[in-house]
A and B are shown apart, each in its own frame.
Chain A
Amino acid sequence: MSLSVSVSAFLVDECPAELDGNSCGIVEDDGEISKGTCYNQQCLKFEKTKIVYDPSYVEETKDDRLFDLRKQKIEMNPFDDLLCVVALTSPPGDSGKADLKGRFYTYEGEGDDRVKVVLKEGSFDHMFEDSYKFEAKGYDGGAFPSIAESDEDLEKLVKSGRLGCELVTDDGKVFENPKTRVEKETSSCVRLWGPDRLYGLPKYVSDYAITSMRGSSSRFNAKEIVRRGKRDMIEGYQEVDPFGSDEPVIGLKEPSYKELFKYYVDLQNYNDGDWEVVDRHFGRKAFSFVSRNSNCPTARIHNFYNLRG
Chain B
Amino acid sequence: MKGNNKGYALFGTSNAVFMHAYTSPKHPVHETGHALAALVDEYVVLDSFPSFLNFLVTGKNCRGSPSFGKYGDNVPGCTVKNKNYRPSKVSIMVSIMNSDKFSASQFNTISCAYILRTIEHTKSFENLFNECHDNLDTIIPGQECEYSDNFNSYPGGSIGTSCSKDNSFGCGTCSSIGECDYTANNGNECVFEGDAGTYSYGFCLDGTCNLQPDWVCSDRFGYSCPRNEKCDETTHKCVPDSSSN
Binding site for B on A (CB under 8 A): 204-206, 208, 210, 217-220, 231-232, 234-237, 239-243, 245, 247, 249-251, 257, 260, 281-282, 286-288, 290-291, 299-309
Q: When the two chains form their complex, are residues A242 and B19 in contact, meaning their CB atoms are under 8 A apart?
A: no
Q: Which of A205, A206, A219, A309 contacts B18, CB < 8 Å? A: A309
1/0 per position for B103-144, CB-CB distance to A under 8 A?
A: 001110000100110111111000110011001111000000
Q: When the two chains form their complex, are residues A281 and B18 in contact, meaning their CB atoms are under 8 A apart?
A: yes
- Would you call B14 an interface residue if the criterion is a C-beta within 8 Å of the partner chain's C-beta atoms? yes
Q: Provided the pairs A232-B25, A232-B28, A305-B21 are in contact, do residues A291 and B15 lie with their beta carbons within 8 angstroms?
A: yes
Q: When the two chains form their complex, are residues B112 and A241 in contact, meaning their CB atoms are under 8 A apart?
A: yes
Q: When the two chains form their complex, are residues B18 and A304 in contact, meaning their CB atoms are under 8 A apart?
A: yes
Residues on B with C-beta less than 8 A from A257 are 119, 136
Q: When the two chains form their complex, are residues B120 and A205 in contact, meaning their CB atoms are under 8 A apart?
A: yes
Q: When the two chains form their complex, are residues A247 and B136 in contact, meaning their CB atoms are under 8 A apart?
A: yes
Q: When the two chains form their complex, are residues B20 and A287 in contact, meaning their CB atoms are under 8 A apart?
A: no
Q: Which of A210, A243, A281, A305 contacts B1, CB < 8 Å? A: A281
Q: When the two chains form their complex, are residues B119 and A286 in contact, meaning their CB atoms are under 8 A apart?
A: no
Within the complex, the shortest CB–CB distance from B148 to chain A, in Å, comes to 10
A-B pairs under 8 A by CB, number: 135
Residues on B with C-beta less than 8 A from A307 are 20-21
Q: When the two chains form their complex, are residues A236 and B29 in contact, meaning their CB atoms are under 8 A apart?
A: yes
Residues on A with C-beta less than 8 A from B138 are 241
1/0 per position for B20-32, CB-CB distance to A under 8 A?
A: 1101111111011
Q: When the two chains form their complex, are residues A300 and B28 in contact, meaning their CB atoms are under 8 A apart?
A: no
The CA of A286 and the CA of B16, in the complex, are separated in Å by 8
Q: When the two chains form their complex, are residues B21 and A220 in contact, meaning their CB atoms are under 8 A apart?
A: yes
Within the complex, the shortest CB–CB distance from B13 to chain A, in Å, comes to 9
The CA of A249 and the CA of B107, in the complex, are separated in Å by 17
Residues on B with C-beta less than 8 A from A232 are 25, 28-29
- Would you call B92 an interface residue if the criterion is a C-beta within 8 Å of the partner chain's C-beta atoms? yes
Shortest beta-carbon contacts, A-B, top 5: A309-B20, A291-B15, A236-B25, A235-B25, A241-B136
Q: When the two chains form their complex, are residues A300 and B36 in contact, meaning their CB atoms are under 8 A apart?
A: yes
Q: Which residue of B lies closest to A306 (CB)?
A: B18
- Would you call B201 an interface residue if the criterion is a C-beta within 8 Å of the partner chain's C-beta atoms? no
Q: When the two chains form their complex, are residues A306 and B19 in contact, meaning their CB atoms are under 8 A apart?
A: yes
Q: When the two chains form their complex, are residues B8 and A301 in contact, meaning their CB atoms are under 8 A apart?
A: no
Q: When the two chains form their complex, are residues A249 and B120 in contact, meaning their CB atoms are under 8 A apart?
A: yes
Q: When the two chains form their complex, are residues B15 and A242 in contact, meaning their CB atoms are under 8 A apart?
A: no
Within the complex, the shortest CB–CB distance from A251 to chain B, in Å, comes to 7
Q: When the two chains form their complex, are residues A302 and B17 in contact, meaning their CB atoms are under 8 A apart?
A: yes
Q: What total of chain B residues lie within 8 Å of the partner, measured CB to CB? A: 48
Residues on A with C-beta less than 8 A from B220 are none
Chain B at the A interface: SS class:
mixed
- Would you call B234 an interface residue if the criterion is a C-beta within 8 Å of the partner chain's C-beta atoms? no
- Would you call B3 an interface residue if the criterion is a C-beta within 8 Å of the partner chain's C-beta atoms? yes
The CA of A282 and the CA of B119, in the complex, are separated in Å by 29
Q: When the two chains form their complex, are residues A301 and B17 in contact, meaning their CB atoms are under 8 A apart?
A: yes
- Would you call B35 an interface residue if the criterion is a C-beta within 8 Å of the partner chain's C-beta atoms? yes
Q: When the two chains form their complex, are residues B15 and A302 in contact, meaning their CB atoms are under 8 A apart?
A: yes
Contacts A220-B21, A306-B21 aside, 20 further interface pairs with beta carbons under 8 A come to A235-B26, A240-B26, A240-B105, A240-B137, A241-B112, A241-B137, A242-B107, A249-B119, A251-B123, A281-B8, A287-B10, A287-B14, A291-B15, A300-B15, A302-B16, A303-B17, A307-B21, A308-B20, A309-B6, A309-B18
Q: Provided the pairs A250-B127, A301-B35 are in contact, do residues A287 and B16 lie with their beta carbons within 8 angstroms?
A: yes
Residues on B with C-beta less than 8 A from A301 are 15, 17, 28, 32, 35-36
Q: When the two chains form their complex, are residues A204 and B15 in contact, meaning their CB atoms are under 8 A apart?
A: no
The CA of A306 and the CA of B20, in the complex, are separated in Å by 5
Residues on A with C-beta less than 8 A from B28 are 210, 232, 236-237, 301, 303
Q: When the two chains form their complex, are residues A243 and B29 in contact, meaning their CB atoms are under 8 A apart?
A: yes
Within the complex, the shortest CB–CB distance from A254 to chain B, in Å, comes to 14
Q: Which residue of A lies closest to B119 (CB)?
A: A206
Q: When the two chains form their complex, are residues A241 and B21 in contact, meaning their CB atoms are under 8 A apart?
A: no
Q: When the two chains form their complex, are residues B121 and A204 in contact, meaning their CB atoms are under 8 A apart?
A: yes
Residues on B with C-beta less than 8 A from A241 are 106-107, 112, 132, 136-138
